[in-house]
Amino acid sequence: MSTDPDFTGPTTENLVFDAAEAQRRRRGSTLVRIGDHLKREWQLYAMLLPTILWLIIFLYKPMYGLQIAFKDYSIFRGVADSPWIGLEHFNTLFNNDQFLRAVKNTVIISFYSLLFGFPMPILLALMFNEVLNQTFKKSAQTIVYLPHFISSVIIAGIVITAFSPSAGIVNTVLGWLGIDSIYFLTKPEWFRPIFVGTGIWQEAGFQSIVYLAAIAGVSPTLYESAVVDGASRWQMMWKITVPSIMPTIIIMLIIRIGNILEVSFEMIILLYQPATYETADVVNTFIYRQGLQGGQYDFAAAAGLFNAVVAFVLVMTANTISKRYSRTSLW
Amino acid sequence: MRKLVLPLAILGTTALTAPAFADDHLRIVDDPVELTIHMHWPRAQGYEVPKTGEPYPVELKARELTGVSLEDATAGKNSTDSLEAMNLLIAQGNMPDIVGGHLIKQPVNEYGPQGAFVPLNDLVEEHAPNIKAFWDSHPGLKEAISAYDGNYYYIPYLPDGKYGRAWFIRQDWLDVLGLEQPQNVDELYDVLVAFRDQDPNGNGVKDEIPYFARQWEEVNRLLTLWDARSSGSDTYHDFYVNDEGKLVHPYAQDAYRTALSNVAKWYAEGLIDPEIYTRGSSSRDYLLGENLGGMTHDWFASTSGYNSALADAVEGFNFIPFLPPESAGGVRMEEHRRIPIKPDGWAISYTAEDPVTVVKYFDFWFSEEGRLLSNFGVEGKTWDMIDGEPIFKPEVLNSDSPINSQMYLEGAQIQRGYWQDYRYEWQWTSEAARKGIELYDTEDLLIEQFLGVALNKEEQTVYDRYWPSIRTYMLERQQAWVLGSGDVVSDWDAYIETLNDMGYEEVIEILNTAYARQYG
């Protein structure tokens, strides 16, 4: 730090360090020190407490129940008294072709959602940022946020109606173009585009809020100096806005990758048919049909645990790669 | 109630035969007893009048008659999913004396043998003469609700009445086109083609949907027209007992191959709603209301109701039940019927201190007075006995609210273990439906139902391992064939081979072992 290696006088840094050292020496045991620390900072800990309790009650305590994935679980006997059966549920799972198909579908659908769905809110946020007319900006934002607040059941109803072969708007337009109507929701090849498209329509607007907030945090001085340098709006967007919000983008991407197996399965249940299982059946719908409908909680827990482990590995990998190449990471 | 107790206790020793206490023969306990109950079913989550939390009038009457009062202790009241509520209740561990409601058969038969519920065989034999008499007069039903250990653990809700769904057709369309009601599958084909081509709704547009259904599964009902089956019970895609008395699945039979290829042909020709798989539960409202639908397979009562509901909206609207057309093999068959025994009812949990009192209480509802009370509500309040028949009061019959909804508020027709009385429903069945039921009664249309088997632990494991996947595969192929991707006739051998690879034979084997054990 210092350019002069011979300088030995008391810097502020050294003074602070000495004071802390002296204080530490005056104190007694670790316990006393922790006590003092708590007394001094208790407000901060009080604010932390609810979140910690929430984590313990809703996330850590339920982990105790994960053991039923390795047990022959009976709700009457309880978690502790149900007999262990080792990896039998996992065996059943991996010997099931439909499970493997569901894993494949999950990855493909998630990958498409990521590929087409992830850039959308960023583009939207950048576009909103460039809109000068405030009234237009506000109303456009409201319109794209709206679908987020509509329940999935209604969204599915809208989709089914829109793609209906007789009355749907899509087939009506196709009809004008002289194309025969297509019964989209029973065609396996159409399921993924419809599902991914619906997801984008429903969520892209709302997700753009995060990026808008990040853009709002970019220092105006950067733009001012760019204007002085004669930069165009296009250049400012690519050279200032995008790099400035890159950390946000990376974090969002890592989180997205962690959720890659969490396809919004309630939407799939509402939209799929046996005729489209081939491309539509994902791990969660498989668990729902096999496990929960039949009350097989242990089996469903095994499939859920598998899901969680894969998600964990994905987050770790994404985080490590990001840390190495962009120095932005979750932890 | 309590007022009654004191004089009873005084007189009890000397004057038990006093005619002044005519109700006394139904009394179960001398001192009032309070039992707790879990009662979770679609119309109410709790054993009390929904919203107000008052005790049911029927419950108050039952207290007066029996001395037993039920206190509500229902779990999972914030969910309408009864199975979920039941699981919650069992997981909590602190179970009330009586556990009742919707879909209790599976949990009761699974956890009963583990000790969660009291087996009823001996208790009923010794202490419940009315229930015993019911079992004796209805052979096979007790076996149908038994668990794999041979005991039964709940007293079911026993529906009355024979018919459920029927074939309905737009008689006014037939009249416009000068056609007769189709009497066999070939005539039906011609009628549906005419519906499609000859503009029976007269709007000049070819927009008629000849056959439609609220549940896509009802498209499979057409399979019976070519002598195949779609299900063995009132649950879709269920197993059935074939002529050799063996349990098989309808979608693995040769008859299915021919029948489904015909259904696919009808679908391709536009005789079946092209949107049958996605139109959903409002399709009946929509297609009838818009004067588009020609024929369906649906419930007698609710479907007949459209005749009055749409009388003004659609001119000449006349949607009536007609006899099932003769199949290609010459059989008239109505595959759907009311199941005689429901997976709903009530059971005694292991926490009940005095199961004998509880079973006597269950038995009360099978006595003459109890049965009337559970079906019609309190005498003098909602109904009167006229010429030996329970008849609803005019204000009940003419109310804006349906009779069943009124009964649910009284505490009658709720899913306790009771024997329904069809006279309850007949009184408010529409004229069109009554005519249809009389028509169906002229022929022997109904077939025996498969009432389910109880699997033991090992069998259940085999079933769980193979069946859900097989079922998924069957339905996938079925829809694909109907929609025209692939051809059932040419794909058949590969299909059967895949089913066998997936474990179809194993499932059939364990089911038949269990079936023989249970009903043999």
Is A78 inside a domain boundary? no
Mean pLDDT of the A14-21 span: 76
Confidence (pLDDT) at A27: 59
- B62-66, B82-86, B186-190: which has the minimum mean pLDDT? B82-86
CA distances from A308 to A112, A284, A303, A305, B170 (A): 20, 12, 9, 5, 54
The number of domains in chain A is 2
HSE, side-chain direction, 13 A CA sphere, residue A294 = 18
Q: Report all structural domains of chain B as residue ranges with CATH numbers, in order of start.
A: 28-161+341-421 (3.40.190.10), 164-336+449-520 (3.40.190.10)
Q: Which residue has the higher pLDDT, B259 or A96?
A: B259
Q: Please report which confidence band the pLDDT of residue A293 belongs to, taking 50, 70 and 90 as the band edges.
A: low
What CATH number is associated with residue A233? 1.10.3720.10
**Is the minimum CB–CB distance between B91 and chain A shorter than 8 Å?**
yes
Q: Are residues A63 and A107 in the same domain?
A: no
Q: Please report which confidence band the pLDDT of residue B2 belongs to, taking 50, 70 and 90 as the band edges.
A: very low
**Is the minimum CB–CB distance between A33 and chain B shorter than 8 Å?**
no
Q: Are residues A147 and A264 in the same domain?
A: yes
Confidence (pLDDT) at B519: 87
Confidence (pLDDT) at A284: 87
Mean pLDDT of the B91-97 span: 89
Q: Smallest Cβ distance to A275: which of B468, B469, B483?
A: B483
Chain B residues with beta carbon closer than 8 angstroms to that of A74: 110-111, 114
pLDDT of A12 strictly over 70: yes
Q: Are residues A59 and A101 in the same domain?
A: no
Cα separation of B330 and B180, whole Å? 19
Tokens of A317: 């990998």
Confidence (pLDDT) at B331: 95
Chain A residues with beta carbon closer than 8 angstroms to that of B280: 160
Which chain A residue is nearest to residue B88, measuring alpha carbons?
Answer: A75
Is A82 inside a domain boundary? no
Is A61 inside a domain boundary? yes
Q: Are residues A287 and A189 in the same domain?
A: yes
Q: Are residues A308 and A179 in the same domain?
A: yes
Cα separation of B448 and B512, whole Å? 17
Q: What's the DSSP call for residue B334?
A: B
CB-CB contact of B481 with B251 (8 Å): no
pLDDT of A4 strictly over 70: no
Q: Are residues A153 and A216 in the same domain?
A: yes
Chain A residues with beta carbon closer than 8 angstroms to that of B114: 74, 76-77
Picking from B41, B4, B38, the residue whose alpha carbon sits closest to that of residue B23 is B4
pLDDT of B116 strictly over 90: yes
Each residue's pLDDT tens digit, A69-88: 999 888 888 888 889 999 98
**Is the minimum CB–CB distance between B460 and chain A shorter than 8 Å?**
no
Question: Of A27, A43, A70, which marks where a domain is finished?
Answer: A70
Cα separation of B238 and B450, whole Å? 8
pLDDT of A33 strictly over 90: no
pLDDT of A28 strictly over 80: no
Mean residue pLDDT of chain A comes to 86
CB-CB contact of B205 with B224 (8 Å): no
User: Inter-chain contact A277–B278, Cβ cutoff 8 Å?
Assistant: no
**Is the minimum CB–CB distance between A185 and chain B shorter than 8 Å?**
yes
User: Inter-chain contact B473–A273, Cβ cutoff 8 Å?
Assistant: no
pLDDT of B262 strictly over 50: yes
pLDDT of B417 strictly over 90: yes
Q: Which residue has the higher pLDDT, A327 or B223?
A: B223
Tokens of B392: 């609803």
Chain B residues with beta carbon closer than 8 angstroms to that of A186: 277-278, 479, 483
Report the complex ipTM.
Answer: 0.70
Which chain A residue is nearest to residue B473, measuring alpha carbons?
Answer: A274
Q: Are residues A105 and A249 in the same domain?
A: yes
- A38-52, A263-277, B346-360, B485-499: which has the minimum mean pLDDT? A263-277
User: Inter-chain contact A76–B278, Cβ cutoff 8 Å?
Assistant: no
Interface of B with A in 480-519 (CB under 8 A): 480, 483
* Secondary structure of B147-162 as H, E, C letters: CCCCCCCCEECECCCC
Counting one residue from chain A and one from chain B, the pairs whose CB atoms sit within 8 A come to: 70
Confidence (pLDDT) at B16: 41
Each residue's pLDDT tens digit, A210-247: 999 999 999 999 999 999 999 998 999 999 999 999 98
**Is the minimum CB–CB distance between B479 and chain A shorter than 8 Å?**
yes
Mean pLDDT of the B15-27 span: 57
Is A287 inside a domain boundary? yes
pLDDT of A2 strictly over 70: no
Q: Smallest Cβ distance to A164: which of B275, B465, B478?
A: B275
- A198, exposed or middle or buried, with CB in 10 Å at 0-12, 13-18, 19+? buried
Confidence (pLDDT) at A74: 85
**Is the minimum CB–CB distance between A277 and chain B shorter than 8 Å?**
yes
Mean pLDDT of the A147-155 span: 91
Which chain A residue is nearest to residue B110, measuring alpha carbons?
Answer: A74
Is A7 inside a domain boundary? no
Q: Are residues A94 and A224 in the same domain?
A: yes
Is A309 inside a domain boundary? yes
Confidence (pLDDT) at A9: 60
Q: Are residues A42 and A152 in the same domain?
A: no
**Is the minimum CB–CB distance between B306 and chain A shorter than 8 Å?**
no
pLDDT of A5 strictly over 90: no
A281, A287, A290, A295: CA torsion to nearest 10: -150
Q: Write out the residue range of the structural domain in which residue A169 sits.
A: 88-326
Q: Please report which confidence band the pLDDT of residue B320 belongs to, taking 50, 70 and 90 as the band edges.
A: very high
Q: Are residues A165 and A137 in the same domain?
A: yes
User: Inter-chain contact B116–A186, Cβ cutoff 8 Å?
Assistant: no
Q: Which of B472, B473, B485 to mutate to test the interface with A (most CBs of A within 10 A)?
A: B472
**Is the minimum CB–CB distance between B87 and chain A shorter than 8 Å?**
yes
**Is the minimum CB–CB distance between A92 and chain B shorter than 8 Å?**
yes
CB-CB contact of B397 with B403 (8 Å): yes
Q: Are residues A217 and A286 in the same domain?
A: yes
Q: Please report which confidence band the pLDDT of residue B23 belongs to, taking 50, 70 and 90 as the band edges.
A: low
Confidence (pLDDT) at B459: 93
User: Inter-chain contact A290–B468, Cβ cutoff 8 Å?
Assistant: yes
CB-CB contact of B363 with B131 (8 Å): yes
CA distances from A323 to A242, A250, A328, B457 (A): 19, 10, 5, 51
Smallest Cα distance from A69 to chain B, Å: 15
**Is the minimum CB–CB distance between A96 and chain B shorter than 8 Å?**
yes
pLDDT of B182 strictly over 50: yes
- B250, exposed or middle or buried, with CB in 10 Å at 0-12, 13-18, 19+? buried
The angle at the Cα of B100, spanning B99 to B105, to the nearest 5 degrees, equals 100
Mean pLDDT of the B486-498 span: 95
Q: Which of B82, B114, B275, B471 to mutate to test the interface with A (most CBs of A within 10 A)?
A: B275
**Is the minimum CB–CB distance between A165 and chain B shorter than 8 Å?**
yes
With both helix axes pointing from N to C terminus, report the angle between A188-216 and A134-145 in degrees, rounded to the nearest 10: 140
pTM: 0.80
Confidence (pLDDT) at A304: 85
User: Inter-chain contact B479–A296, Cβ cutoff 8 Å?
Assistant: no
User: Inter-chain contact A164–B476, Cβ cutoff 8 Å?
Assistant: no
User: Inter-chain contact B476–A275, Cβ cutoff 8 Å?
Assistant: yes
Is A260 inside a domain boundary? yes
Chain A residues with beta carbon closer than 8 angstroms to that of B117: none
Chain A residues with beta carbon closer than 8 angstroms to that of B83: 295
Each residue's pLDDT tens digit, B275-312: 999 888 889 999 999 999 999 999 998 899 899 889 99
Diameter over CA atoms, chain A = 89
Mean pLDDT of the A43-62 span: 93
Is A109 inside a domain boundary? yes
Q: Which residues contact B39 (CB under 8 A, 6 or more apart)?
A: B46, B47, B72, B74, B98, B100, B101, B346, B414, B415, B416
Q: Are residues A56 and A189 in the same domain?
A: no
Tokens of A309: 């482990």
